[in-house]
A and B are shown apart, each in its own frame.
Chain A
Amino acid sequence: MAYKVVCYINQFFAGMGGEEAAHQEPFAKREPLGPAMQINFLLGDEAEVVGTVVCGDSYYGENIEIARERCLELIKGFSPDLLIAGPAFNAGRYGVACGDICVTAGEILGIPTVTGMYYENPGVELYSNKTFIVKTADSARGMKDALQNITTLSLKLLKGQKLRPAEEEGYFHRGIRKNFFYEENGAKRAVDMLLKKLKGELFKTEYEMPTFKKITPAKPVKDIKNATIALVSSGGVVPKGNPDRIRVSSAESYGKYDISGIDDLSPEIFESIHGGYDRVWANKDPDVVLPVDVMRQLEKEGVFGKLYDYVYTTTGTGTSVANAERFGKEIGEDLKKAGVDAVILTST
């Protein structure tokens, strides 16, 4: 008998639409939908996709506990031997949903789970320790390879075959060290590595020293009554017409906009251009993302000193970590020069 596989996908890959359908509640179909059709084909005779569970990304992200529970019930209904979620490529919310449902199904149903993501997807750092996340390209253009690699790994897991190291199997490692035999002994590997290092060539260490991305928290603001506070946002709220042509996703720039004299961000003068969430609310009232109105009010009441005259905004979807770090560094230096005392940063 063939192994039973269930696929989890979002509203977009189920063909229901993008952001307008992102609040789709979970449902299941007794057939392969979207990418699950190709997965079913690739699995061949050894396994079969017996059902597809669909859930909107925003629904999952905003109702994570309920969404998790409802999706799990639907998956459980098929009594699968393995769950495949996504692939999510570089879609952050989809990645989180895929990772979360995989970890949940793995823990509660005790079945192996596989998903696929681009290395910068936040889901990778969050969930790679607890499920198999196959490395994919950053967008659905890489679908063909992604599905091939996901099904290859899935079949190995279903059959209980011994896995090679993560880098050879093509998934993000789960933070586990396991012993393998190399072709060469350790002494030869060491001399090879040293000679490469001496020549300035690329070499690959066999054990990375732990890197800590954390930084020491900055000192708190002591005198809030006289403090200048700046608003920064990755929520994509910009002056109407997007004068700086900031990209709706995978941003390569940010904007700095004068808000002096503005008490309220009305939809006539500001809009959201963010490509990663439903902009309906933000476009009715941009303050729900970039809260100028209430900040101005608090400023007038004397709760804090001054709202800085400029806001900095960009779009935080699909934006590379390197770019995000560069934006942060430049904005930080700018704010320091301006004598700003603290920042409130909103993200969607």
Chain B
Amino acid sequence: MTREIEASADIPVVQIATIVPIMLTVGANRIVPGIAIPHPVGAPDKGDEVDKAIRREVLERALKAIQTEIKEQTIFNK
């Protein structure tokens, strides 16, 4: 889905998910590793404050990814 959106809209798509190898296989170009499968953008088990802070950090990284020039599939780690 990621690859097709990027191809048809010609805009950067950053994918946030937990199992990175699958994103690599399906052809996502900008990859941000998620926290956990049921909560890719948060850590609700760690309380509200931490949860939001983590969500913010992951999304800021995603925003950085869409502003980054890349030539091939790239994983944006913390």
A residues at B contact (CB < 8 Å): 58, 61-62, 92-93, 96, 122, 125-126, 213-215, 217-222, 224, 229, 232, 234-235, 277-282, 284-285, 287-289, 291, 293-295, 297-298, 303-304, 314, 316, 324-329, 331-333, 335-336, 340-348
Contacts and interface: CB of A to CB of B under 8 A. Distances in A.
Contacts of B26: 122, 213
Contacts of B55: 287-288, 291, 293-294
In the A-B complex, the 5 residue pairs with the smallest Cβ-Cβ separation, listed nearest first, are A328-B4, A332-B8, A288-B42, A288-B39, A332-B9
A214 B71 CA distance: 11
> For chain B, which range describes its interface: under 10, 10 to 19, 20 to 34, or 35 or more residues?
35 or more
Contacts, number: 209
Contacts of B4: 324-329, 331-332
B25 A217 contact: no
Interface of B: 1-19, 21-22, 25-27, 29-30, 34, 36-42, 44-45, 51-52, 55-56, 58-60, 62-63, 66-74
B12 A332 contact: no
A125 B25 contact: yes
6 contacts: A122-B19, A220-B66, A229-B63, A332-B5, A332-B8, A343-B5
Contacts of B34: 346-347
A303 B64 CA distance: 11
B54 to A, nearest CB: 10
B73 to A, nearest CB: 7
